[in-house]
Amino acid sequence: MLRGILYETLQSDAGGATVRLLPESPVYKGHFHGYPITPGVCLVQMALELIGEKEGRPVSLAAARNIKFTSPVMPDAVTQLRFNLLGEGGAWSVEVFAGEVSCAKMSLTLA
């Protein structure tokens, strides 16, 4: 789990969740030294954790389609992310925003 290591949830509602990135996370020490950026795989994992929170159970990924990372998420410039989560059961559509800027879009299928 990345909650508590890379981010903390600030708000959760019917449409998704707002999180605060933790810039002191060890993730940023290795990705990339001197130019920290949130790895795309971490954004996918964060989405899974937030979906699991909505569903009230841990979830796992069966397939990921149409993943697009549209803007880098650098913890020194971006402190909060909004995850818009639409779906139920096995199929979810996720959009990630830093303010008004789209950072990622993905279609996730749960196992």
Tens of pLDDT, residues 42-81: 999 999 999 999 999 999 999 999 999 999 999 989 899 9
Among all chains, which residue has been given the structure tokens 């803007």? Answer: 71
> Beta strands of 58-100 (E only): which ranges?
61-69, 80-88, 91-98
pTM, two decimals, is 0.94
Angle, CA 9 vertex, CA 80 and CA 50 arms, to 5°? 105
For 7-110, the fitting CATH number among 3.10.129.10, 1.10.150.20, 1.10.1840.10, 3.40.50.720 is 3.10.129.10
